[in-house]
Chain A
Amino acid sequence: MSDRVELLVGTKKGAFILESDAARRDWRVRGPFCETWPIHHLVRASDGTLYAAGGNAWYGPSVWRSEDDGATWSQSSDGLTYGDDGPKITTIWNLTPSNGKLFAGVEPAGLFRSDDRGQTWSHVAGLREHPSTPEWQPGNGGLCLHSIVPHPTDPDRMWVGISAVGAFETTDGGKTWETRNRGVRADFVPGDPPEFGQCVHKMGLHPDNPEVLYQQNHCGVYRSGDGGRQWTEITPGLPSEFGFPMAIHPHDPSTVYVIPLNGADKGRHMIDGHTQVWRTRDRGDSWQMLDGGLPTSDAYLGVLREAMSMDRMRPAGIYFGTSTGQVFGSSDEGDSWQLIADFLPPVWSVETSAPGS
């Protein structure tokens, strides 16, 4: 077990690293990194390398890399393109290291892979060769591929989530993909739920039980026990079906956290200004509100899809960042919270890492 915990925070104006010892009470902020570019996602690979991804209004999308803990950075987008005749890539929403490779989810939606630690990229073209692609339409948040979920032991299997399009799975290393949206509502289109077009907001699995997937959707929270072939809604018990982030407990596949917001058409902030995280310990059969130490009035905070994460300590810590620049943390699995950073730029992502572990 590491004696340090760090939060990797992507913001509208640069990346930051928040560091603490194992007690997770006192935090130090480092940054901003990446020349204050808009950073959608900051991650640390198992070899210690930091990667950050985003898109700059002037200079386009790029992936940043630091091999010295953030002291110096380089960036590259070599190969991050659909070609001169294809759509222009505007930004990168998600970076996911897996099996020595690095995957990037971009906007407009597509998946890229780097085999050389982010120096060059190749398009995983099979996804955009799916017959549904011409009908993909962006939602309010764009047409972003934001969830990249590798199978923990089978390198040929992976799930991805695309806003306003839904979930897909490949079982052949990305050559072909199948939709995985059965049982998921899409209330913003008339008729029965379609094969695709569902608006997944965040999707994940637990490595100890990789057939069990969870997703926070525009229209509810869902669980699948068969790798996404069929989803079951687990929204009942929550105060709202709408939210963005979702986190799965690192040591318990049955424990999941979401942050319900007041609604898609109501401002997308905390319900009645009451900051609250909700936790299930039974795979969504029941939910418990967690607000100890959080501002419970006049707090019209928003939390975006990548902005909640858990560390691997025991008890596990959980953290979320807000669109108004606060980061809240809990070192007791959500039972009590503290404000651990304030006055940051709008927070877009929070990941955890345990340096040296």
Chain B
Amino acid sequence: MATVHLPRSLVTLFPDPPPRRLDMSAATLTELVARLDEGWPGMRDRLCEAGPQIREHINVFVDGERVRDLGAQIPDTAVVHIIPAVAGG
């Protein structure tokens, strides 16, 4: 099971919000996003855009390595961080 960390600004978009940290099985980033979307419908649209691809200002780290490819492998014991990019204004 991978451990997934979600940002506050994402979970608060859902009336029945997910926990900030949750465990889930997913072979790829595509699968992980799909599992999140099953639990909280609409989450895929918040994380992905046309392409499909991860939104430009959403950063996904798998075991500390930034990944952009939705086909990226998610090891069974991975720690996944989803973090909005830092911004000014």
B-contacting residues of A (Cβ < 8 Å)? 35, 57-60, 62, 72-78, 80-89
Closest to B45 in A: A77
Contact with A along B66-86 (1 / 0, CB 8 A): 000000000000000000110
15 A-B residue pairings within 8 Å (CB atoms): A57-B57, A58-B9, A58-B55, A59-B9, A59-B13, A59-B47, A59-B58, A60-B45, A60-B46, A74-B15, A75-B13, A77-B42, A84-B51, A86-B50, A88-B50
**Most A C-beta atoms less than 10 A away, residue of B41, B46, B85:** B46
B64 contacts the other chain (CB 8 A)? no
Complex-state Cα separation, A57 to B57, whole angstroms: 7
* A84 and B52 contact, Cβ closer than 8 Å, known pairs A35-B13, A72-B15: yes
Residues of the B chain whose Cβ atoms lie less than 8 Å from the Cβ of A59: 9-10, 13, 46-47, 55, 58, 84
Task: Report B-chain residues with C-beta under 8 Å of the C-beta of A60.
Answer: 45-46, 49, 55
Q: For chain B residues 18-69, which have a beta carbon within 8 Å of chain A?
A: 41-42, 45-47, 49-52, 55, 57-58
Which residue of chain A has its CB nearest to the CB of B84?
Answer: A58
Number of A-B contacts (CB under 8 A): 52
Contact (Cβ within 8 A) B42 A78:
yes
Chain A residues lying within 8 Å of B51, measured Cβ to Cβ, are 84
4 new A-B contacts, CB < 8 A, other than A74-B15, A81-B50, A82-B50, are A58-B84, A60-B49, A74-B14, A77-B45
Number of chain B interface residues as a range:
20 to 34
Kindly state the separation between the CA atoms of A59 and B55 in the bound complex, as whole angstroms. Answer: 7
* Residues in A whose Cβ lies below 8 Å from that of B47: 59
| Shortest Cβ distance from A59 into B: residue | B46
Known: A57-B87, A59-B55. A35 touches B42 (CB 8 A): no
Hey, which chain A residues are within 8 Å of B57, CB to CB? 57-58
Q: Please report the C-alpha to C-alpha distance between residue A268 and residue B64 in the assembled complex, in whole angstroms.
A: 47
Q: How far is the CA of A163 from the CA of B42 in the complex (A)?
A: 30
State the CA gap A75–B10 with chains docked (Å): 12
Q: Report whether B45 and A62 are in contact in the complex, using a CB–CB cutoff of 8 Å.
A: yes
- Return B33 CB to nearest CB of chain A, in Å: 13
Give the complex CA separation of A35 and B49 in angstroms: 20
Chain B proximity of A83: nearest CB distance (Å): 7
Q: What are the residues of chain B within 8 A of A57 when measuring CB–CB? A: 57, 87
Chain B residue at minimum C-beta to C-beta distance from A35: B12
- List, in ascending order, chain A residues with CB within 8 A of B10's CB: 59
CA distance A11 to B10 in the complex (A): 20
Question: Could you say which residues of chain B place their CB within 8 Å of the CB of A80?
Answer: 45
Q: Which residues of A contact B9 (CB under 8 A)?
A: 35, 58-59
Q: A59–B46 Cα gap in the complex (Å)?
A: 5
On chain A, the residues within 8 Å of B50 by CB distance are: 81-89
Q: Which 10 A-B pairs have the closest CB atoms?
A: A58-B84, A59-B46, A58-B57, A88-B50, A77-B45, A88-B49, A84-B50, A74-B15, A76-B42, A84-B52
| Bound CA span A39–B52, Å | 25
Chain A residues near B87: list those with CB within 8 A: 57-58
Q: How far in angstroms is the closest Cβ of chain A from B37?
A: 10
Inter-chain CA distance A81–B49, complex, in Å, is 9
Residues on B with C-beta less than 8 A from A89 are 50
